[in-house]
């Protein structure tokens, strides 16, 4: 007897098979931060989940549009600034302060006088120790406790107190603070590793991991501010960034963008892979002033991609009602519920939920696709006719059941009127989790960039 899921998945694959095009121009390096590591300005802040400037350039070359660029999941702003460097205005939507502040600081970098900033950096770095300026403590939450040595934390917070006391241009002050944010991981006993922070045993936490040399705060901030100072001159040559940043969830903020006003959308939403950004960037969030309750609120507000996310359906229905868009919401619900492969995947996972690493994965997948469905509907609304949308995303699998994110989201897009122009497949995909290989064997799943066009 045929497996219903296998049959439906095969039919969906056949529907879009000719659109799946292996693109040798693309690599895992381009769809991640890696290709930014040596680029002036883009290398300032290690935002692992972002994509690289060369990928944005590649997509803009393909779109052949000079109209407004939108990134509804702006991260630290790679798409926005890459568009600006080509003379294209950009709008970004971002929820997390760990992305918002870096974007604002990169705009500030184009407003400061390079010589004034360079002189300021020399003065700041001439101070032997910042600890005497300490005015407040690092207000740790449970998941950041013991992240720094006592000396490092004193220097970090002393530096923070010192720059707050400076009588200098606010743009310069923000950049000095951004320098500290950019080195937090480097000077800590932590390393960003998948869904959580990986802890060095020197922190006092039980761990055999050793991240190697941990620079002093003075070493790290010296290298970072000198990098800023060197790159500011190049940033100044490009003029003031023309960026409109909307702070909040794109599930709400997309309502603020006018219909047919965007030329190109380039984005990479959170993947359906359990990665919790609030647990990956807690040091940055806390340094910027978030407390435990703030972090929990951000976790629930962001697009559902973790097992801790609860359903937003009721709240979103109320929001759409307030916006007098109930008909739009009902249509999206119909499109979501009619996706047979997704429904079959959820049913299949229910049958094997005892084998899942966390039973809430099923809820997460449902929430993820429901919310992405709404995002896609708005992206179609705001794009101008003929405009293209580029989305970087990964397929996922749980207990050997593959979730073809690329095909399901493309199917949603087609229901709203997008033409599925192509789905660029990276020549090298990714394997399933190591703990699953022994049970289900190694199976490579697709990493893609979707290209949809508003008809």
Instruction: Give the whole-angstrom CA distance, residue 51 versus residue 74.
Output: 10
Edge to edge, what strands does the sheet with 243-247 contain?
Answer: 20-22, 418-425, 447-454, 383-394, 262-267, 69-71, 90-94, 243-247
Q: Under DSSP, is residue 382 helix (H, G, I), strand (E, B) or coil? A: helix
- pLDDT tier, 434 (very low <50, low <70, confident <90, very high otherwise): very low
Q: Give pLDDT, residue 195.
A: 73
Q: Give pLDDT, residue 430.
A: 67
Task: Yes or no: say if 247 and 101 are a contact pair by the CB < 8 Å rule.
Answer: no
Secondary structure element (H or E) that encloses residue 453, with its range: strand 447-454
Instruction: Give the whole-angstrom CA distance, residue 13 versus residue 19.
Output: 10
Q: Give pLDDT, residue 429.
A: 76
Indicate the domain borders of the chain.
4-110+240-270+305-454, 115-237
Q: Which two tokens stand for residue 8?
A: 């439906």
Angle between helical axes of 361-382 and 340-351 (0-180°, round to 10): 170
Residue range 89-141, pLDDT digits in tens: 999 999 999 999 999 999 999 899 999 999 999 999 999 999 999 889 999 99
List Cβ neighbours of 66 (8 Å cut-off, separation of 6 or more). 86, 87, 88, 263
Angle between helical axes of 4-16 and 340-351 (0-180°, round to 10): 150
List Cβ neighbours of 150 (8 Å cut-off, separation of 6 or more). none
Q: How far is CA 82 from CA 70, 237, 261, 368, 382, in A?
A: 12, 14, 19, 28, 21
**Mean pLDDT of all residues in 37-48:** 92
For the stretch 239-263, what's the b/e string if a residue is b when 16 or more beta carbons lie within 10 angstroms of its beta carbon? eebebebbbebbbbbbeebeeeebb
Q: Which spans in 126-209 are helix H? A: 150-165, 170-182, 184-187
Instruction: Give the whole-angstrom CA distance, residue 9 versus residue 12.
Output: 5
From the list 455, 429, 433, 434, the residue with the least C-alpha distance to 444 is 429
Q: Give pLDDT, residue 440.
A: 45
Q: Which two tokens stand for residue 423?
A: 């789905």
* Phi (first) and psi of residue 355, to 5 degrees: -90, -15
Q: Which two tokens stand for residue 38?
A: 């040596």
Is the model's pLDDT at 32 over the cut of 70?
Answer: yes
Residue range 184-242, pLDDT digits in tens: 999 999 999 877 899 999 999 999 999 999 999 999 999 999 999 999 977 655 566 79
Q: Under DSSP, is residue 419 helix (H, G, I), strand (E, B) or coil? A: strand
Q: Which two tokens stand for residue 15?
A: 């529907």
Q: What is the mean pLDDT of the chain?
A: 94
pTM above 0.85, yes or no: yes
Q: Give pLDDT, residue 239.
A: 65
**Mean pLDDT of all residues in 13-41:** 95
| Dihedral of alpha carbons 138, 142, 146, 150, sign | positive
Instruction: Give the whole-angstrom CA distance, residue 377 versus residue 332.
Output: 7
Strands (E) located in 313-443: 383-394, 396-398, 401-403, 418-425
Task: Yes or no: say if 361 and 427 are a contact pair by the CB < 8 Å rule.
Answer: no
- pLDDT tier, 3 (very low <50, low <70, confident <90, very high otherwise): confident
Length of the chain measured in residues: 455
| Dihedral of alpha carbons 318, 324, 330, 332, sign | negative
List Cβ neighbours of 78 (8 Å cut-off, separation of 6 or more). 36, 42, 47, 50, 51, 52, 53, 56
**Mean pLDDT of all residues in 308-324:** 97
- Strands 190-193 and 243-247, by their bridges, are unpaired
Task: Yes or no: say if 372 and 251 are a contact pair by the CB < 8 Å rule.
Answer: no
- Strands 383-394 and 262-267, by their bridges, are parallel
**3-state percent breakdown (helix, strand, coil) of the chain, nearest 5:** 50, 15, 35
Q: Give pLDDT, residue 432.
A: 47
Q: Which CATH class is domain 4-110+240-270+305-454?
A: alpha beta
Q: Under DSSP, is residue 243 helix (H, G, I), strand (E, B) or coil? A: strand
**Mean pLDDT of all residues in 239-252:** 90
Is the model's pLDDT at 23 over the cut of 70?
Answer: yes
């Amino acid at each position: 007897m045929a497996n219903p899921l296998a049959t439906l998945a095969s039919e969906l694959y056949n529907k879009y098979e000719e659109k799946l095009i292996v693109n040798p121009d693309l690599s895992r390096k381009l769809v991640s931060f890696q290709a930014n590591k040596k680029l002036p300005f883009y290398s300032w802040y290690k935002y692992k989940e972002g994509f690289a400037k060369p990928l944005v350039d590649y997509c803009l070359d393909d779109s052949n549009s000079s109209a407004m660029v939108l990134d509804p999941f702006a991260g630290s702003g790679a798409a926005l600034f890459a568009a600006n460097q080509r003379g294209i205005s950009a709008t970004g939507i971002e929820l997390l302060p760990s992305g918002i502040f870096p974007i604002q600081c990169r705009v500030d970098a184009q407003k400061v006088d390079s010589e004034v900033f360079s002189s300021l950096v020399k003065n700041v770095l001439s101070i032997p120790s910042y600890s005497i300026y300490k005015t407040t403590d690092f207000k740790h939450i449970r998941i950041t406790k013991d992240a720094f040595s006592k000396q490092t934390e004193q220097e970090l917070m002393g530096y923070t107190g010192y720059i707050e006391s400076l009588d200098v241009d606010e743009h310069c002050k923000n950049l000095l603070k951004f320098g500290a944010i950019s080195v937090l991981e480097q000077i800590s006993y932590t390393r960003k590793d998948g869904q959580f922070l990986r802890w060095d045993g020197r922190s006092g936490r039980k761990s055999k991991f050793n991240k190697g040399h941990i620079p002093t705060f003075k070493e790290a901030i010296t290298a970072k501010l000198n990098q800023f100072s060197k790159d500011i001159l190049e940033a100044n040559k490009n003029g003031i960034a023309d960026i409109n940043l909307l702070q909040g969830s794109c599930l709400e903020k997309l309502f603020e963008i006018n219909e047919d006003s965007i030329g190109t959308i380039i984005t990479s939403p959170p993947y359906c892979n359990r990665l919790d950004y609030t647990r990956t960037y807690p040091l940055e969030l806390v340094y910027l002033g978030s407390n435990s309750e703030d972090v929990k609120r951000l976790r629930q507000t962001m697009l559902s991609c973790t097992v801790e996310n609860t359903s937003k359906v009721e709240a979103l229905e109320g929001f759409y009602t307030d916006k007098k868009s109930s008909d739009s919401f009902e249509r999206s619900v119909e499109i979501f519920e009619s996706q047979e492969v997704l429904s079959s995947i959820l049913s299949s996972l229910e049958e094997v939920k005892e084998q899942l690493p966390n039973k809430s994965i099923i809820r997460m997948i449902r929430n993820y696709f429901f919310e992405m469905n709404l995002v896609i509907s708005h992206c179609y609304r705001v794009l101008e006719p003929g405009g293209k949308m580029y989305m970087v995303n990964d397929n996922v699998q749980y207990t050997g059941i593959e979730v073809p994110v690329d095909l399901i989201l493309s199917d949603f897009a087609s229901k709203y009127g997008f033409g599925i122009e192509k789905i660029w497949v990276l020549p090298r995909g990714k394997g399933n989790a190591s703990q699953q290989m022994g049970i289900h064997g190694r199976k490579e799943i697709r990493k893609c960039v979707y290209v949809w066009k508003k008809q």
